[in-house]
Amino acid sequence: MALSTKIRNGIIESLTTTIRDKLRDYKPETNHMPFHFRLLGRDRYAMFSFVHSMNTTFGMSIWEQVAVILAKGASYHAERQYKLLGEVDEDTEKLISNIHYKLRKGEVVASKIEEAKQIKGKIKKGEPKFDPDSVVDLYVKVNDTENYFDITSVKPNMKEFVALKLKLLRWTALRLSQDKKAKVFTRLAIPYNPYHPEPYERWTLKGLYDLEKGEILVGEEFWNFVADDNIYEELLDIFQEVGEELRIEIDKKFAEFRKIE
């Protein structure tokens, strides 16, 4: 099915507003970088810095905003920057550390069902406290399953993958500390596959995540999941449409960088 006019317009409006705000408010960095300036030129470096800043904007807001619009369009409850309150007791922290250690060592096979079962069996009722891992990029409730997403960069390194797995385990514990009956599924979302048309096969994934159960959703898998429909190509077309609409404004901003000496 095609996206409804309401959903399309919501995505277009969100993208347009975010990009225009960035174009209006962005100021080139004033850091003194003599080697970069001499090698690349101040104007080219300023343009590079702007593109890098745009990538940060995608990571911090655009992905989340678009995902919420799509999920709500599918009649799911969805929130971005969701506060997952809870309290993980000392025994459960030890259990999580042990699970994490064994996964890293390759002593056990990743299993979302088994990991959640172990945490559920150990966790004690806790207070709804704010935790260092409390902020969830995207929360989507599908029927009675609560999905908690960390939307990560497209090429996390090994240390990042390891740290993210620990966060997902702790999210499970935080939620179950408030309600052991809750159906919790914590996931990583990677917005697009940088290796397309080849499959996303980072060596860092092996053994640490339950890929068969969808603990990591990449590109098309993620967007189609939150929209509950096969909308990925149409979503790309919307981004292109907004880009063409803003082309003159973007080129004008780039022209400002060319004047920098």
Instruction: For the chain, give every domain's residue range.
Output: 1-74+231-261, 75-228
| Residue 40 scores a pLDDT above 90 | no
What confidence tier does 59 reach under pLDDT thresholds 50, 70, 90? confident
Question: Topology of domain 75-228, per CATH?
Answer: type ii restriction endonuclease, domain 2 (3.40.1560)
The pTM of this model reads: 0.91
Question: What is the average pLDDT across 165-188?
Answer: 98
Give 11-39 pLDDT, tens digit per residue. 999 999 999 998 888 877 667 778 878 88
Task: Return the pLDDT at 206.
Answer: 67
What share of the chain in percent tops pLDDT 70? Answer: 96
What confidence tier does 204 reach under pLDDT thresholds 50, 70, 90? low
Question: What is the average pLDDT across 88-108?
Answer: 96
Q: What is the mean pLDDT of the chain?
A: 92
What confidence tier does 202 reach under pLDDT thresholds 50, 70, 90? low
Q: Measured between alpha carbons, how far is 243 from 77 in angstroms, rounded to an integer? A: 29
